[in-house]
Structure 1
Amino acid sequence: MSAPTQQSLRVALVQQQNTAERDYNLTQSINGIREAAAQGAQLVVLQELHTGLYFCQSEDVEQFDLAETIPGQSTQVFGELAKELGVVIVASLFERRAAGLYHNTAVVLETDGSIAGKYRKMHIPDDPGFYEKFYFTPGDLGFEPIKTSLGTLGVLVCWDQWFPEAARLMATKGAEILIYPTAIGWDKNDDAAEQQRQQDAWVISQRAHAVANGVYVISANRTGFEADPSGHSAGIEFWGHSFIAGPQGELLAKACDDKPEVLVAELDLQRGEKVRRIWPYLRDRRIDHYGDLTKLYRD
């Protein structure tokens, strides 16, 4: 981890409830960023695919019309906003790379409005209600942190948050904060106990990445019910619960489950260094015996 140039960093995330109206959603994102900046936030994270509904509940070729280029409309809008407010913004886009080639991409906008870097989602789910393999090509940029004026960011996306390998690779390349724009929720047919188990597992997994790597974690999820346009399922109740965790997994801030919210927290940039000195996981890794991790399964 590089030595921080400042003692603290004020960060924020925007938890939204989306509609089918892109302009409305975009306005909510912009308003959330402005509210965060007004509270002193220097880094603001938006949820996964924040300009629209989560269209991956069904397979529909017309949805490819929602994709945009990078640079493009969204990067221009958020780049100008980042420059105006003097903040770093992490925005999530449905990227049109070429005809028939699309990615689920997170873009980091610098305080001067430029694109600091981008990350293309590497792990792509294909499950009932989450048919992302139909829409997104797996990322080809690897697990490369993005350097900004505020520090080095390990940007990942949603399904990536369940894989400890992704967090570890970001951390061993110098990421000081792991960032997860997310869209996850409950199947309305599951009972309350199962829903709680799922949400607990989601939180525990990401807090564990913070602990195992001695880094901060910012996880921005959406909230609200979104119907399945195909009618084949009961739709998804996105569970919100966005949070910011410290390098020992401690919860610094947590959003509610069922409404939009701007969440802000102050990060002590020295803590990661201090925690790693007393819990030196990177020192004690047995990389000489980890070769089998490159196998899908050890038969």
Structure 2
Amino acid sequence: MRVAVVQLAAEIDSRGNREAVVRQLSTLGADDDLDLVVLPEATMHDFGSTDHDLSAVAEPLDGPFVAMLATEAVRLGATVVAGMFERVDGALPFNTLVVVGPDGALRTSYRKIHLYDSFGYKESERLLPGEVEPVVVDVDGRRVGLMTCYDLRFPELARALVDAGAETLVVPAAWVAGDHKLDHWRTLLRARAIENTVHVVAAAQGGERYTGHSLVVDPWGSIVVEADSDDRIIRADVLADEVARARDVNPSLANRRLARQGRTPSS
């Protein structure tokens, strides 16, 4: 599976963000033979200040942001994953990942489960949490599990995705910069890869507010490719046989003795 990871810094201008995405993706084409393109959390519209009304800017799943992604997915012949704020009538919006297939159809969506009520911030005051249900989607014959930003700090979600068949975890994020934050970002991404023997593909917002450092990690926990803080696209080949080799040498999933979700160790 050939992957492109797009790092960008979104603004509180939805139209401008759509134009920026198209401009950045214009450097890619069908001849790149991509299977998966991953953009950050909140690509549609940045979080803005804490008093910025996300309900007023949220869009439906058939709105202009997803329509733009569909056009780009068809042009590239690839599946595209990106973050948006999903409109909910009469309520706060969801922090949602959308997955658009190479035919331009919306394949699935994932509403962020763990809202960022941490480091002095309260995402739950502005957004609704999604249902506690892991979302896995097929991309080029591979099972891909979806997580968003703060979800990364909850290893049980990654394990639930792997139990649902995921061999790759995709993590769009707007990982806020600060003391220890970049170290946490890298360490947690590598940990999720090592403990689950999976690839991890992480697309982060860059710029001054966020850490940047989008990266791809292999099932051994090694960083294959990593961005800095600027807008850029990084690429990697995510190979199924790498997962198989890692799980053959390190069969930690098979050696588990604690219960899987909904099962006892003896069942």
TM-score, normalised on structure 1?
0.81
RMSD of Structure 2 on Structure 1 (CA): 2.0
Larger strand proportion of the pair:
1
Task: For residue 129 of structure 1, report the CA deviation from its aligned partner.
Answer: 6.0
Counterpart position of 2:253 = 282
AA matched with 1:275: A
Equivalent residue, structure 1, for 2:235: 264
Give the Å deviation of 1:27: 1.7
Q: Which amino acid aligns with 2:78?
A: V
Secondary structure of 1:35 counterpart: coil
**Equivalent pair of 1:116/1:147 in contact (CA under 8 Å):** no
Out of 203, 209, 220, the position equivalent to 1:248 is 220
Distance in structure 2 (CA, Å) of the matches to 1:140 and 1:288: 22
Q: CA deviation at 1:34?
A: 3.3
2:13 to 5, 18, 21: 21
Residue equivalent to 1:206: 189
Q: Answer whether contact 1:116 1:148 (CA < 8 A) is retained.
A: no
Q: Deviations over 1:49-71 (max 9, x none)?
A: 0122222x4134x3311101112
Contact 1:119 1:141 in 2 (8 A): no
Gaps of 5+ in 1: 1-8, 188-194, 226-236, 292-299
> Equivalents in 2 of 1:116, 1:52: separation in Å?
21
Residues 1:70 and 1:289: Cα distance change in structure 2 (over 3 Å): closer
Q: Which of 37, 50, 62 is 2:43 aligned to?
A: 50
Query: What percent identity do the matched residue pairs reach?
Result: 29
Structure 2 partner of 1:12:
4
Match of 1:294 in 2: none
Q: 2:55 aligns with which of 64, 70, 73?
A: 64
Q: Determine if the alignment matches structure 1 residue 174 to structure 2 residue 165.
A: yes
Identify the residue that residue 157 of structure 1 maps to in structure 2.
148
2:134 maps to what in 1? 143
Where does structure 1 differ by over 4 angstroms across 4 or more consecutive aligned residues? 288-291
SS at match of 1:130: coil
Match of 2:34 among 31, 37, 41: 41
Specify the code of the residue in structure 2 equivalent to 1:94: F
Distance 1:75-1:160 versus aligned 2 partners, 3 A rule? same
Note closer, same or farther for the CA distance 1:24–1:72 as it changes in structure 2 (3 Å cut). closer
* Deviation for aligned residue 1:33: 2.8
Q: Does the 8 A contact of 1:214 with 1:272 survive in 2? A: yes
Corresponding residue SS for 1:287: coil
Q: 1:183 matched to which residue of 2?
A: 174
Residues 135, 149 of structure 1: alpha-carbon distance in 2 compared, 3 angstrom cutoff: same
Q: Which has the larger radius of gyration?
A: 1
Query: Which stretch has the larger CA shift, 270-279 or 129-138?
Result: 129-138
Q: Return the letter of the residue paired with 1:186.
A: A
Higher helix share: 1
How far does residue 150 in structure 1 lie from its aligned partner after superposition?
A: 4.5
Secondary structure at the aligned position of 2:44 is classed as coil
Amino acid at match of 2:237: E
Query: Against the structure 1 CA distance between its residues 185 and 141, is the aligned structure 2 distance closer, same or farther, given a 3 Å change threshold?
Result: closer
1:114-150 per-residue CA deviation (whole Å, 9 max, x = no partner) reads 1111111000122456331012211116112122344
Maintained 8 Å contact 1:36/1:44: no
Q: Deviations over 1:24-80 (max 9, x none)?
A: 22122223333244644321000110122222x4134x3311101112222222112
Instruction: Count matched residues.
Output: 261
Pairing 1:94–2:85 present? yes
